[in-house]
């Protein structure tokens, strides 16, 4: 039962606090507030999100996940490696080899950029 129903004091979170809870930036929270995804109250130039709204979003996400698990057929339960058996490795071209730079790195060769121009450059120096 929430504080709204019991008549107790309501709890609000700042956009920064909500961003920290969800692991996103404050700008992402402000965008979600502006497009109506996250309900919020504006007090002058500050937005606050009711705690019941955050709790509701979390409960809705849990319910969606439970519904997906319940409807998934058992034969869809394959391991991660089984899904990528016939695919080339990431970064590989059509022949299965990587770019020349990738191949050099695999062989242990050091790739160096050839500089054109006069004079030697100091390592880490300005151009």
Go through the domains of the chain in sequence order and give each one's CATH number.
3-73 (1.10.1660)
pLDDT in tens, the chain (127 residues): 455 556 678 899 999 999 999 999 999 999 999 999 999 999 999 999 999 999 999 999 999 988 887 777 666 555 656 666 666 666 655 555 556 655 555 555 555 666 666 555 555 555 5
pTM across the whole model: 0.50
Q: Determine the longest span between alpha carbons in the chain, in angstroms.
A: 79
> Would you give the distance in Å from CA 17 to the centre of its chain?
17
Which residues share a beta bridge with 48? 14, 41
Q: Return the structure tokens found at 85.
A: 């058996």
Report d(CA 58, CA 5) in Å as an integer. 19
Phi, psi of 100, deg, nearest 5: -55, -35
Q: How many CB atoms lie within 10 A of CB 106?
A: 10
């Amino acid at each position: 039962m929430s504080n709204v129903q019991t008549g107790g004091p309501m709890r609000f979170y700042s956009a920064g606090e909500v961003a920290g809870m969800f692991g996103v930036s404050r700008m992402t929270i402000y965008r979600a507030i502006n497009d109506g995804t996250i309900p919020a109250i504006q007090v002058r130039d500050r937005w606050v999100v009711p705690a019941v709204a955050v709790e509701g979003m979390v409960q809705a996400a849990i319910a969606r996940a439970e519904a997906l698990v319940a409807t998934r057929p058992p034969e869809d339960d394959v391991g991660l490696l089984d899904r990528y058996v016939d695919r080339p490795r990431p970064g590989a071209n059509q022949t299965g080899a990587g770019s020349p730079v990738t191949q050099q790195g695999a062989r242990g060769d050091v790739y160096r950029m050839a500089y054109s121009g006069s004079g030697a450059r100091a390592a880490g120096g300005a151009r």
